[in-house]
Amino acid sequence: MHNLLQIMGKEIVRCESPKETGRRSRLWTYEDVCLALIDNTGKEKIEAIFLDLPGIKDAQWNMKAFSKMSRLRLLKIDNVQLSQGPEDLSHKLQFLEWHSYPSKSLPAGLQVDELVELHMANSSIEQLWCGYKSAVKLKIINLSNSLYLSKTPDLTGIPNLESLILEGCTSLSEVHPSLGSYKNLQYVNLVNCESIRILSSNLEMESLKIFTLNGCSKLEKFPDIVGNMNKLLVLHLDETGITKLSSSIHRLVGLEVLSMNNCKNLESIPSSIPCLKSLKKLDLSGCSEFKYIPENLGEVESLEEFDISGTSIRLLL
């Protein structure tokens, strides 16, 4: 948006209520937000709060005030230090971004029917919500570097989710089984989720394009591919504890990048690997226990990069 349009828009909003910030439709300065949250009355007109501060500020807000913002559709809070989260949030929320969210979960009574994007990096969340919630419009969940997150939500009530980002959630140990059969996910990032030991036993994620599990050091088995996953382009398994890949990997006919760098327990790859006709990059570097490669690997017609530096390869099978 052009700067002049922004200035004009902000002036229009300011004129909605020159003296009472809590009666304006949009708030974007720290001072105005603080004034609006001093008490919990007269907040019904607020539709958007966009607070993106350059440095961290401590705040003593009245969290009950959020319960009065029944028209709130957009909420972004970054670099605000708080001791607790709101008791309730508007059921009309479409976009929620709250870095360093201080509570262990979202408000119990929150309805997420209208929510499209949820970004809560570096939060104190242990569990996003309990049980089943219907969020049919939700497309993005980003809880990256939420160090206390222990389990993922049930995805069956989120049928249109496209992106799940849980990078750096070091306490995450329980991945809900609904992940393995999810139809619309295109991007899954579980980088450095070092407490994960088991994923779903089977994968049938027909829309998945990028799956990243780098640094999941306790993960010893990658699931079997049981359905149509020909859209998967990139599979990163670097520094995982995986000992072998299932022969069902041949179902990933669209795979272009398979990276297993520094998988110290990996000894071999399945002989079905030549079925990956689209494979362009295969990285097995640093797999110190890796000893054997299939002799038919040369049948991978598209292979452009093959790195086996730092392995223990002795002969071809």
Answer yes or no: pTM beyond 0.85: yes
Q: How far apart are CA 161 and CA 139, in angstroms?
A: 4
Q: Which two tokens stand for residue 69?
A: 């913002």
CA nearest to 208, candidates 239, 177, 235, 175: 235
Domain 39-316 classified CATH 3.80.10.10? yes
> Model confidence over 80-121: pLDDT tens digits?
989 899 989 999 999 999 999 999 999 988 999 999 999 999
Is residue 77 within 8 A of residue 48, CB to CB? The reply is: no
Pick the residue with more confidence: 6 or 189?
A: 189
CA nearest to 79, candidates 44, 52, 45: 52
Domain limits, the chain:
39-316
Pairing of strands 48-58, 74-81: parallel
| 300 pLDDT more than 90 | no
| 19 pLDDT more than 60 | no
Q: Could you give the maximum distance between any two Cα atoms of the chain, in Å?
A: 80
Confidence of residue 12 (pLDDT cuts 50, 70, 90): very low
Is residue 155 within 8 A of residue 176, CB to CB? The reply is: yes
pLDDT at 237: 97
Express as a percent the part of the chain with pLDDT over 70. Answer: 90
48 three-state secondary structure: strand
Report the chain's mean pLDDT, rounded to a whole number: 88
pLDDT at 125: 96
Burial of 229 (0-12, 13-18, 19+ CB in 10 A): buried
> Model confidence over 226-283: pLDDT tens digits?
988 999 999 999 999 999 888 899 999 999 999 999 999 998 888 888 888 899 999 9
Is residue 216 within 8 A of residue 196, CB to CB? The reply is: yes
